[in-house]
Amino acid sequence: MFAFFAGLAAGLLHVFSGPDHLAAVAPLAADSDRGKWRTGLQWGIGHTTGVLLIAGLLLLVRERLPLDAISAHSERLVGIALILVGAWGFWSARVRRRAGATTHSHSGASFGMGALHGLAGSSHLFGVLPALAFATRIEAAFYLAGFGAGAIAGMTAFSAAMGLLSSRLSRRHSSGLLYASSAAALVVGGFWLVGQ
C-alpha cells in the first residue's frame, strides 16, 4: 500500500505544480454546463493514459529514441494547444456575453488535451521514474496506479472548483472568469513556446 499512496501523492503534486495543467483545464471548466468535475476527470484520464503510454514506450525502446528531440517538439505542441484553448476561451466568453449564458460540453477536448500533456515532454516522467525503484513489478504497478489516481483526482477537484466558482458568479462575472482563465492559457502557452 505504501507504493500506491506514494504514487497518489506524486500524482497530486504533479497536477498542481504544473501551470500548464491548470491553464489547460480552467477555460474548459469555466465554460462547461454539465457536471463541472467531468472536464477535469476526462482531462486526468487522458493525461494518465498519455503518461502510461509514453512510459511504456520509453521502457521498451529507450535506447533507440531521440528523447530530446521528441520532448522539444511535444512541448511546443503543448504550447500551441494552450494558445488555442486560450483563444477559444476568449471567443466563447465573447459569445456568452452577447447571447447569454450558453455553455458547452468539452469531453473530447479535455480528454485530448490531457492525453497531449501526458504524451508531451519528459517532465512528467520524473513522477513516474520512482516506479523503477520498487523491488517488485506489483509494487511498481501500484505506484503507477496511485500516480494516475492522484492526477485524475487532482484535476477533477480543480475542475469542480472552477466550475463551481463559474456557476456561482453572475453571467457578467463568469464571463470575466472565462476571460481570465483564457488569458492564463495564452500566457502559459506563450511561455511554453518561448521556453523551448
Q: Give tens-digit pLDDT for 135-149.
A: 888 888 899 899 999
Residues paired with 32 in a beta bridge: 104
Predicted local confidence at residue 149, as pLDDT: 94
Residues 137 and 178 sit within 8 Å (Cβ to Cβ): no
Q: Is the pLDDT of residue 119 over 70?
A: yes
At 49-63, the pLDDT tens digits run 888 887 677 666 656
Predicted local confidence at residue 164, as pLDDT: 82
At 147-193, the pLDDT tens digits run 999 989 999 998 888 888 877 776 667 777 778 888 888 888 888 77
Identify the domain containing residue 183 by its residue range: 2-195
Angstrom distances, CA of residue 87 to CA of 15, 17, 71: 23, 23, 24
In the numeric block, the cell 494552450 is attached to 82
Q: Mean pLDDT for the chain?
A: 77
Residues 8 and 66 sit within 8 Å (Cβ to Cβ): no
User: Ramachandran region of residue 122, left (φ > 0), alpha (ψ -120 to 50) or beta?
Assistant: alpha
Q: Residue 118 half-sphere exposure, CB side, CA atoms within 13 Å?
A: 29
Q: Is the pLDDT of residue 34 over 60?
A: no
| Percentage of the residues of the chain whose pLDDT score is greater than 90 | 7
Number of domains the chain contains: 1
At 85-104, the pLDDT tens digits run 777 777 776 776 665 555 55
The DSSP 8-state label assigned to residue 104 in this structure reads: B
Predicted local confidence at residue 8, as pLDDT: 92
In the numeric block, the cell 513556446 is attached to 193
Q: Is the pLDDT of residue 123 over 60?
A: no
Q: Is the pLDDT of residue 47 over 60?
A: yes
- Calpha distance 59→151 (Å, rounded): 21
